[in-house]
Amino acid sequence: MKTSHQDAAPQAAPIVQLAGGLDQPGRSASMRGPGMAEALAQEMARLERARAFAEPLLAGQRLDTGEDALDHAAGVASILRAIGASPSLLAAVYLVYVGEYLNKPEDVIGKAFGASYASLVAATRKLVQIQRNARDALVDEDMRAEQTERVRKMLLAFSRDLRVVLVRLASRLQTLRYYAQSKRDCPLVLARESLHVFAPLANRLGIWQIKWELEDLSFRFLEPEQYKAIARMLDEKRIEREQVVEQARQRLSAQLREQGIPALVQGRPKHLYSIWKKMRGKQLDFSGVFDLRALRVIVPTVPDCYAALGLVHERYRPLPEEFDDYIAKPKPNGYQSLHTVVYDEQGRSLEIQIRTQAMHEHAEHGVAAHWAYKEAGTKGYAGVSAAGDFEAQVAEARKAVLRQLLAWERDFSGEASTTGFDDRIYVFTPQAAIVELPAGATPVDFAYTLHTDLGHRCRGARVDGAMVPLNTALHSGQTVEVVAAKEGGPSMDWLNPELGYLRSSRAKAKVRAWFNALAQQQTIARGRELVEKLLQREGRTAMKLEDLASQLGFKSADALFDVVGKDEYSLRNIEQLLRPADTVPQPDDQIALRKPRSEAPTGKGGVLVVGVESLLTTLARCCKPAPPDAIGGYVTKGKGVAVHRADCSSFRQIAGRHPERVISVAWGQPSGEKAPVYPVDVAVEALDRQGLLRDISEVFAKEKTNVIGVNTQTVRGTAWMTFTVEVSDSARLSQVLAAVAQVPGVRAARRR
């Protein structure tokens, strides 16, 4: 029988054989004593019981990697034991894998071993299944990087129980060991995930032993030729290098002893992946890698570290550019050590690391060096009751690990945020592609994340094969399938927060955009109907609507219909365009004259035609002249003299074509007590807002300026307004416009 655990393997030799349980190097004295000895005995008994429970169920079973299930569980336990894990965590390993062969494993394990173990089993099994599905997802190569990134985020999402992280790291290493020892080809997607997800996580947690072995094994499968080449170069020089290192070790040990510095000096292995990475990153050949020969010096105290460094630099020639003080400035994962490169008497490079025993424990085992993986009552793991200093130390250690996990997240995301992992969930499509959603997201959010149109047409959903309401909150690891109509749109209920259909702000914006577009379509349809009716009344149905919109200054006919449908653009503007004789006089056509108002006199009371008496005059609508504007006259056919402002573009055009019709005119003196008034157009550009028209109208009223006409048009938040006002003197108008320009939102106010 095969299981869904693709990350697994037969037992391999442990990295370092250390005593399991609490009493390990680096443990605080407060964590030892009769009470803790009794607790340790209970844990060992629990480990034996878990192993006895699992062995008959795991024996003879094969994981889908080909590994023996019992050997894989034992190998994972051995790896965790080597980095200082307690018997409680080792017991959990066996229970995680036996869960595949039980009906309702969480219930069975919960009753037999407690809720803490049951939750670990549930979380780890789900994460393994998710990662397996992610690797098997039908995505192209361009999507692989994104898929790997989501696997990393899912690992973080499941890290509320920090045991899950350690079990997954050890399980992945055990699987890579299996492929290496059995000389089988490791799936590349698994090797890539190991190198780009699991090794960086081990590095951030400071678990050096797991980190370097994950890197080397992944490198072996991903770059086999490069791996073999570097391994061959190392083997060719191995005997000579080992002799040099041993001689240097003995010599440095004796020198430190002579100076009274207690120290343990070891040869330090160099890892193939780090050699290849350094050669590639610094463009070096093999001979340029300084730390092929390396020593590690372990001393009791920090002052001893610097004393040993002083002796090394005194007896050997140092390379200044290769010195790093990670004690004064630790690495982000808490690693501390002094690194230096020196030349021996024969001129050969030798890297030396100097650190305390505590620093060494942290460098080798990372968080495992100071975290007992225990629970104090219900606050931790494994059911061991503890109090006082031990409980406080466990709490602080868990906080430290969480901070490192958060920092690992920032390493990849580049964000400075310190938020936790509870704000995101990761679910699957039926094709096993991973979809990232905000916590509490629903199937509707899921549909809109896949495609906007799918979200609009979403009518139902299946979660893990079962139909659920559309406002059901999703959880990490679930597979979601959307049931969609062939056509249609969203429901207005989806925007009601009390009904809980949408959590994603992106999905909410898409639903609002759909309804806004629907409302705009209705507005455009209404505007089109009004414009087409006007064209029918004017007998201009043959006119192209796009041409009409262009002549009115709109980019498209729909833009015109939109403002007409909103009652933001007067149809009178279209009428004026369709009746050009009303606004721009043509030389061969009769000018349609407005019936003179009593306040706008003609003849001697208004405009005088030089040399001619009692000649009919009218003020041109195109420029609306008013005293004291410079004016000129143009003789029309049968309709008297049209009076224009001298700077009127229309007047200049017709005068240029027919100069013989131009006649001199001048403003007359008012004959009555009441001064005549003249209509003048004022253009205002402003930022559209509520109450804008009211505020401008109040300014005109305050300035005692009569408004006889208003046209407004709003385009993309800008209001274009034309006011027709009556003035007796255009010079007075500048004061009025200055007051209008002070209205909030007004950008410009000028006479047209």
Q: At what angle do helices 115-136 and 105-113 cross, to 10 degrees?
A: 150
pLDDT score for 363: 75
CB-count exposure of residue 400 (10 Å: 0-12, 13-18, 19+): middle
Which of 9, 8, 6, 2 is CA-nearest to residue 134?
A: 6
Which amino acid is it at 385?
S
Q: At what angle do helices 87-98 and 162-181 cross, to 10 degrees?
A: 70
Assess whether pLDDT exceeds 60 at residue 643: yes
Mean pLDDT across 231-245: 69
In this prediction, residue 238 has a pLDDT band, given cuts at 50, 70 and 90, of: low
Arithmetic mean of pLDDT over the chain = 76
The per-residue pLDDT for range 45-95, each reduced to its tens digit, is 888 888 899 899 888 898 888 899 899 999 999 998 887 777 888 888 888
pLDDT score for 621: 78
Mean pLDDT across 621-639: 82
Q: How far apart are CA 91 and CA 51, in angstroms?
A: 7
| Adjacency order of strands within the sheet including 458-463 | 466-468, 458-463, 480-484
pLDDT score for 252: 92
pLDDT score for 338: 94
H-type helices in 114-206, by residue range? 115-136, 141-157, 162-181, 188-193, 199-204
Q: How far apart are CA 136 and CA 148, in angstroms?
A: 12
Cβ 313 vs Cβ 342: under 8 Å: yes
pLDDT score for 248: 87
Could you tell me the residue ranges of all domains in the chain? 1-411, 424-503, 515-578, 580-667, 678-751
pLDDT score for 426: 74
Higher pLDDT, 411 or 718: 718
List, in sequence order, every residue forming a beta bridge with 137; answer none if it has no partner: none
The verdict on pTM exceeding 0.75 is no
CATH topology agreement for domains 424-503 and 678-751 = no
324: DSSP letter: E
Assess whether pLDDT exceeds 90 at residue 445: yes
Given 3.30.70.260, 3.40.1190.20, 3.40.50.970, 2.40.110.10, which CATH number is that of 678-751? 3.30.70.260
List, in sequence order, every residue forming a beta bridge with 352; answer none if it has no partner: 295, 340
Higher pLDDT, 10 or 204: 204
Which of 470, 473, 469, 513 is CA-nearest to residue 489?
A: 513
SS3 10: coil
Nearest-5° angle of CA 431, CA 435, CA 441? 125
Mean pLDDT across 442-462: 92
Map tokens 């009552």 to a residue: 377
Mean pLDDT across 691-695: 85
Q: How far apart are CA 313 and CA 13, in angstroms?
A: 38
Superfamily of domain 424-503: Beta-grasp domain (3.10.20.30)
Cβ 626 vs Cβ 675: under 8 Å: no
Q: How far apart are CA 398 and CA 409, in angstroms?
A: 17
Least confident piece of the model among 212-221, 429-438, 539-548: 429-438
Terminal CA-CA length for the chain: 88
17: DSSP letter: -
627: DSSP letter: T
In this prediction, residue 386 has a pLDDT band, given cuts at 50, 70 and 90, of: very low
Which of 62, 66, 69, 76 is CA-nearest to residue 12?
A: 76
- What contacts 247, CB < 8 A, 6 or more positions away? none
Give the start-end residues of each E strand in 569-705.
Answer: 607-609, 617-619, 631-635, 641-645, 662-663, 665-667, 678-687
The per-residue pLDDT for range 105-118, each reduced to its tens digit, is 888 888 888 888 88
| 1-411: in CATH 1.20.1740.10 | no
Which of 297, 308, 397 is CA-nearest to residue 355?
A: 297
SS3 477: coil
Q: How far apart are CA 435 and CA 152, in angstroms?
A: 13
pLDDT score for 612: 55
Higher pLDDT, 279 or 544: 544
Assess whether pLDDT exceeds 50 at residue 743: yes
The per-residue pLDDT for range 350-367, each reduced to its tens digit, is 889 999 988 887 777 665
pLDDT score for 595: 35
198: DSSP letter: I
